[in-house]
């Protein structure tokens, strides 16, 4: 069964979609979209994942963070802390609506940072699936900024040969401020609040060490952010001794845009979910 779901947090309404399997359920999954996205995900990745997870027997809740998608709230007021608080409320809502007693948080990109931040907030959360997880930090190091700028420059060079680009140039429709920000490796303007509000990397990861549940990391092998981020989390997992798995999708980019990459991400996650402890509805 699939139905729209509205819930409130701090006086603002959040909009989402609840999917429940036809026969009982094994566990619940809360899907957390990326920083500038919404619950559907890039290329409908999160929507299709939620549908397939539900068909496999898992209750799922996809929703828009405050300031994103259909949910209330201003874009500029959202930061990782507000997104983490929204995720904790979503877990409570999923448990209330379905009575599942075990919950997996599934994050994409910045949604992974949200999952890490929310992991200790509810005893029902026992596992995290992290797709294209960046290093947890609101700060951008020079190296990360330079790598992002190089990637954006390559993308703009490709666009230079498109007729529509020259059409925008002639008619004055090019967003020069956006282009400058991309070529200097910066995040979007609404991202600036994150730098002041999120914990430092060492502080957050030290707190996260109390989470002992299994972790699944999936990265695109062709994502420039993958080498540093994967090494960071692999080192962390081995040092802390937490159960973990890494999977790299050959040729894939950050958001797994091709149909084959999308299928691999979803199928890999499903196989991992099937190996987790099973505990169905309590009522």
For 260-275, write each residue's pLDDT tens digit. 999 999 999 999 999 9
Residue 99 Ramachandran class (φ > 0 left, ψ -120 to 50 alpha, else beta): left
Mean pLDDT of 236-254: 96
Measured CA to CA, the distance from residue 258 to residue 277 in angstroms comes to: 31
Percentage of the chain lying above the pLDDT 70 cut: 75
Least reliable range by pLDDT among 52-56, 147-151, 190-194: 190-194
Alpha-carbon distance of 103 to 101, in angstroms, equals 7
Q: How far apart are CA 9 and CA 60, in angstroms?
A: 19
- What kind of fold does domain 2-140+200-274 have according to CATH? Rossmann fold (3.40.50)
pTM above 0.85, yes or no: no
The structural domains of the chain, with segments of one domain joined by +, span: 2-140+200-274, 142-183
pLDDT for the residue numbered 150: 54
């Amino acid at each position: 069964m699939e139905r729209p779901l509205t819930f409130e947090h701090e006086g603002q309404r959040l909009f989402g979609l609840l999917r429940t399997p036809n026969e009982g359920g094994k566990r619940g999954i809360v899907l957390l979209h990326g920083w500038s996205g919404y619950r559907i995900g890039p290329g409908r990745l999160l929507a299709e994942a939620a549908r397939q997870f539900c068909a496999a027997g898992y209750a799922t809740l996809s929703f828009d963070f405050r300031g994103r998608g259909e949910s209330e709230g201003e874009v500029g007021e959202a930061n990782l802390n507000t997104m983490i608080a929204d995720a904790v409320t979503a877990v409570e809502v999923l448990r209330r609506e379905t009575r599942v007693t075990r919950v997996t948080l599934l994050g994409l990109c910045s949604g992974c940072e949200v999952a890490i931040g929310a992991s200790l907030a509810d005893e029902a959360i026992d596992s995290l699936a992290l797709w294209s997880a960046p290093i947890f930090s609101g700060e951008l190091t020079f190296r990360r900024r330079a790598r992002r700028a190089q990637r954006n420059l390559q993308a703009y060079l490709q666009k230079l040969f498109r007729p529509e680009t020259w059409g925008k140039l002639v008619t004055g429709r090019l967003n020069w401020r956006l282009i400058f920000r991309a070529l200097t490796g910066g995040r979007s303007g609404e991202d600036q609040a994150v730098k002041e509000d999120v914990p430092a990397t060492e502080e957050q990861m030290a707190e996260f060490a109390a989470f002992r549940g299994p972790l699944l990391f999936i990265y695109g092998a062709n994502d420039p952010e993958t080498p540093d981020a994967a090494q960071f989390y692999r080192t962390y997992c081995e040092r802390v001794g937490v159960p973990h798995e890494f999977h790299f999708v050959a040729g894939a980019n950050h958001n797994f845009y091709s149909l084959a990459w999308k299928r691999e991400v979803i199928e890999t996650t499903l196989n991992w979910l099937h190996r987790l402890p099973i505990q169905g509805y309590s009522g």
